[in-house]
Amino acid sequence: MKKLFIILISVLFFFSCQTNVEHSKSNTDYTLKRGSEINTILAQFSINSHPEAFKPSSSTPPKNTTLYYIDNSEKSVPVWLDETSKTVFFYADGVTTTNGTNKLVLNEDSSCMFQNCSFISIDLSLFDASSVSNMTSLFAYCYSLKSINFNGFDTSNVTTMEGMFYDCRSLTSIDLSHFNTGKVTNMGYMFDGCNSLESPDFSNFDTSKVT
């Protein structure tokens, strides 16, 4: 019965990633695609490889490298795989964390963005999450994930974090001190299956609207 329940939950998370949602409208070229669309792009790198890191590059992509674009304009934010370092890099000219300006704007629906990834570490320090409302299954089934850089990650408008870290079985610690959960109504299965997670600090979590 327990096995059947786990399968059912997995199916529900899968279909939640397939929901068609209109792209967020923005005047900036740095607004990213929906999470499920980025997930499809990242999956291309895992066909013949198992990349271990996702992080920004300080330089433009190397020549003769296969590029994919994760922004809505499909011209501003390329991602590529460096086989030598087993790293998926992303690059955007002029994007910086200085004074919190010019960050990459995550889509309102960023659900499933890294679902099923093979990454051990993910750097989100250049991402502006202030417009995101849906973070369902953001890191679900990332079995090898051990480190996430949430520096400056703004979750003040997120309403659902269902299954956000579902089955991240290698995650031992996580810094949630910057998480604003004041608008979150759904935290179901958020850390379910995170059996290696040691003493997470939820002291700043506002669960007043969770049902």
Quick: pLDDT tens for 52-95.
999 999 899 999 999 999 999 888 899 999 999 999 999 987 66
Torsion region of 171: left, alpha or beta (phi above 0 gives left; psi -120 to 50 gives alpha)? beta
- Tokens 């059912």 map to which residue? 8
C-alpha span between 114 and 21 (Å, rounded): 18
Q: What is the average per-residue pLDDT within 135-140?
A: 98
Mean per-residue pLDDT, 130-139: 97
pLDDT surpasses 50 at 28? no
* Residue 198 burial (C-beta neighbours within 10 Å; 0-12, 13-18, 19+): exposed
What's the average model confidence in pLDDT over 94-101? 57
**The two structure tokens encoding residue 89:** 């890099």
Q: What are phi and psi of 90, to 5 degrees?
A: -130, 155
What confidence tier does 102 reach under pLDDT thresholds 50, 70, 90? low
For residue 7, give the H/E element and its range: helix 2-16
b/e sequence 13-48, b meaning 16+ C-beta within 10 Å? beebbeeeeeebebeeebbbbbbbbbbeebeebeee
Mean pLDDT score, 3-26: 50
Q: What is the pTM of this model?
A: 0.86
CA separation for the pair 194, 168 (Å, rounded): 5
pLDDT of residue 3: 54
